């Protein structure tokens, strides 16, 4: 616990915050290849911080009291719609992030299905590669997820599998542009057509890649991405995060709808209480206009040509990276990435990817481990942002990666005692008590205080060997231990 500073000691307080951040992954410089997005543009973060500070106290709860919020939101939504195939009827909502955009897309579809088609037990059709946010939405809003496998070679969903999964209860079909895990774009035109044929809504999750792909399309001399946006017939909504490839501060995403009539189904209004009349377009009540103002400012500053240039740099860097990884003995890229996300698996026999991640982390690079799931082997996720998009940085990354592979081979893979997997398979996650949970975490290498070892490969190997429901029971316990009480 940090000691309290006295009143007036602003510098001391800020210095303490800086000290806390020292333990975090760096958010600038391009060596953290997940979670953070660095444009590398001088002064951009300062502008965003000033805009954010100026609007921090403005409350987006009541747009009539704070009309600036409406103006900023209209501007940002219009820019997103213009970029991503919208027309004059396109409507949108600024949200706090990709998860909230996905949640609202699902909530809207549920209400639309109930009100226009009388669906009372709604289902949502999801490629196996759809983001976890849709499963969260299904759990929160009472929809049944119907998961469709993806092609084991391309990791794209097959339209005929989506069509076969549709029932009279389907409220929404989801396609990714691109998927987080493999960075590939689902066949949006065919998936949307299958949905439209059954009068079902289709959401394109372009949270991570939409801003990048939309601008890459505008960059000269680069092959355009596959069609994925609102211009595709049958696509009824699309989410795109600005706090990713818009390089805005966190808390910024846009959810676009084909029209305001569809959008209204997700809004909540309440006048049956003694307080102020409520209209919420998003999940939050009171919400700071800071992230919106910061996003607006960053969009104004970078501009369309600026984003197209950033997208060109990211595209070239991703191509260099994919090519270079293909030349490292023992590594291979999963699928053929359509965007700027790369999933790197190991040949068989080859190095343990999780050990490679540990080795990279020890040298200041964060590559994100993705455990094996369905047909997707254990791999490392790399998000390429503009800050790393310099051929010299990519060469440095590839050299580090090649060296990490050598070291990982020498160390050997993280292994799991087969007995543990056997015992774990027999456990019922629903009935695990505190003592069993504590034992399971100890076996996985997690400390009583939730602390994790510096080398994560053994922990990840155990988690990967456990059935998903058991992992889902244990993960919150790990995090819970990090918090006091």
Ligand X SMILES: Cc1ncc(COP(=O)(O)O)c(C=O)c1O
The site string for ligand X over 55-94 (x = CB under 6 A, - otherwise) reads ----------------------------------------
Part of the chain binding ligand X (CB under 6 A), chosen from 82-90, 98-106, 322-330, 470-478: 98-106
Q: In what order do the strands lie in the sheet with 341-346?
A: 331-333, 341-346, 379-383, 368-370
* Residue among 132, 91, 299, 119 at smallest CA distance from 199: 119
Question: Which among 240, 243, 209, 248 has a CA at the least distance from the CA of 44?
Answer: 248
Say which residues have a Cβ less than 8 Å from residue 224's Cβ, sequence separation at least 6: 216, 217
The neighbour count for residue 269, using CB atoms within 10 Å, is 10
Are residues 440 and 478 in contact, defined by beta-carbon separation less than 8 angstroms?
no
Out of 176, 248, 282, 318, point to the residue binding ligand X (CB under 6 A): 176
Question: Strand pairing partners for 368?
Answer: 381
Separation of alpha carbons 335 and 352, rounded Å: 19
Count of residues that bind ligand X according to CB under 6 A: 12
Segment interacting with ligand X (CB under 6 A) among 96-104, 189-197, 373-381, 436-444: 96-104
Give start and end residues of each alpha helix (H) in 338-389.
Answer: 353-362
Residue 241 in the binding site for ligand X (CB under 6 A): yes
Question: What are the C-alpha distances in Å from 266 to residues 7, 113, 136, 280?
Answer: 45, 11, 16, 9
| Cβ contact 341:383 at 8 Å | yes
- The CA distance from 108 to 120, in Å, is 14
* Least separation in angstroms between CB 103 and ligand X: 9
Distances (CA, A) of 471 to 127, 136, 192, 424: 21, 16, 33, 10
Tell me how far, at minimum, the Cβ of 3 lies from ligand X, in Å: 33
Pattern 132-171, ligand X, x by CB under 6 A: -x--------------------------------------
**245 scored as a contact of ligand X (CB under 6 A):** no
Minimum Å gap between C-beta 60 and ligand X is 18
Element (H, E) at 9: none
Q: How far apart are CA 118 and CA 211, in angstroms?
A: 35
Q: Measured from the CB atom, is 97 or 351 closer to ligand X? A: 97
Classify 222 as helix, strand or coil: coil
Mask for 190-219, x = binds ligand X (CB under 6 A): ---------------x-xx-----------
Q: How far is the CB of 326 from ligand X (least distance, A)?
A: 24
Closer to ligand X at the Cβ: 32 or 445? 32
182 binds ligand X (CB under 6 A): no
Closest residue to ligand X, judged by C-beta, is 98
Among 52, 99, 282, 464, binds ligand X (CB under 6 A): 99
Smallest CA-to-CA distance from 345 within 327, 325, 362 is with 325
98 lies in the site for ligand X, by CB under 6 A = yes
97 binds ligand X (CB under 6 A): yes
Identified binder of ligand X from the candidate list 51, 102, 162, 192, rule CB under 6 A: 102
Closer CB to ligand X, residue 97 or residue 187? 97
In angstroms, give the least distance from the CB of 381 to ligand X: 10
CB of 368 to ligand X, least distance (A): 10
Q: Does 180 bind ligand X (CB under 6 A)?
A: yes
**Alpha-carbon torsion, ordered 274, 278, 284, 288, to 10 deg:** -100
Contacts of 476 (CB under 8 A, 6+ apart): none
The residue (of 98 and 351) whose beta carbon lies closer to ligand X is: 98
Using the 8-state DSSP alphabet, how is residue 387 labeled?
Answer: G
- Determine, following the binding rule CB under 6 A, whether residue 131 of this chain makes contact with ligand X: yes
Gap between the Cα atoms of 275 and 273, Å rounded: 6
Least distance in Å: CB of 253 to ligand X? 6
Shorter beta-carbon distance to ligand X: residue 133 or 320 = 133
* Closest approach of ligand X to the CB of residue 189, in Å: 19
Complex with ligand X: residue 201 or 208, whichever CB lies closer: 208
- Least distance between ligand X and beta carbon 130 (Å): 8
Judged by beta carbon, residue 280 or residue 368, the one nearer ligand X is 368
Contact set with ligand X (CB under 6 A): 97-99, 102, 131, 133, 176, 180, 205, 207-208, 241
């Amino acid at each position: 616990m940090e000691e309290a500073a006295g009143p007036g000691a602003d510098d001391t307080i800020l210095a303490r915050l800086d000290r806390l951040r020292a333990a975090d992954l760096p958010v600038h410089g391009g060596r953290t290849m997940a979670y953070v997005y660095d444009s590398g543009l001088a002064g951009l973060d300062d502008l965003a911080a000033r805009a954010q500070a100026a609007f921090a106290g403005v409350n987006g709860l009541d747009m009539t009291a704070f009309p600036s919020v409406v103006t900023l939101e209209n501007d940002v939504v219009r820019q997103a719609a213009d970029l991503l195939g919208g027309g004059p009827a396109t409507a949108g909502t600024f949200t706090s992030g990709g998860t909230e955009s996905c949640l609202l897309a699902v909530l809207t579809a549920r209400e639309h299905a109930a009100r226009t088609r009388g669906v009372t037990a709604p289902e949502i059709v999801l490629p196996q590669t759809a983001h976890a946010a849709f499963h969260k939405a299904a759990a929160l809003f009472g929809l049944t997820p119907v998961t469709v496998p993806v092609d084991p070679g391309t990791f794209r969903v097959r339209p005929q599998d989506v069509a076969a999964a549709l029932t009279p209860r389907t409220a929404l079909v989801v396609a990714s542009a691109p998927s987080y895990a493999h960075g590939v774009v689902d066949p949006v035109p065919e998936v949307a057509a299958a949905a439209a044929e059954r009068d079902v809504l289709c959401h394109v999750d372009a949270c991570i890649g939409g801003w990048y792909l939309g601008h890459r399309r505008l960059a000269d001399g680069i092959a355009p991405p596959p069609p994925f946006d609102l211009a595709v017939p049958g696509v009824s909504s699309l989410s795109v995060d600005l706090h990713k490839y818009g390089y805005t501060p966190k808390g910024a995403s846009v959810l676009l709808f084909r029209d305001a009539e569809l959008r209204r189904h997700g809004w909540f209004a309440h006048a049956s209480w003694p307080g102020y009349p409520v209209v919420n377009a998003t999940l939050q009540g009171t919400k700071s206009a800071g992230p919106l103002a910061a996003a607006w400012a960053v969009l104004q500053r970078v501009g369309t040509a600026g984003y197209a240039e950033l997208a060109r740099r990211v595209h070239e860097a991703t191509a260099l990276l994919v090519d270079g990884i293909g030349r490292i003995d023992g590594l291979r890229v999963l699928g053929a990435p359509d965007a700027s996300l790369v999933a790197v698996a190991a040949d068989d026999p080859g190095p343990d990817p999780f050990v490679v991640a540990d080795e990279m982390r020890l040298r200041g690079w964060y590559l994100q481990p993705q455990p094996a799931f369905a047909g997707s082997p254990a791999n490392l996720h790399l998000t390429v942002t503009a800050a790393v998009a310099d051929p010299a940085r990519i060469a440095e990354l590839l050299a580090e990666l090649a060296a990490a592979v050598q070291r990982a081979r020498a160390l050997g893979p993280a292994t799991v005692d087969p007995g543990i997997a056997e015992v774990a398979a027999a456990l019922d996650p629903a009935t695990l008590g505190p003592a069993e949970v504590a034992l399971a975490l100890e076996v996985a290498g997690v400390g009583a205080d939730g602390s994790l070892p510096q080398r994560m490969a053994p922990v990840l190997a155990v988690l990967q060997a456990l059935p998903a429901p058991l992992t889902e029971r244990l993960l919150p316990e790990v995090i819970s231990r990090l918090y006091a009480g």
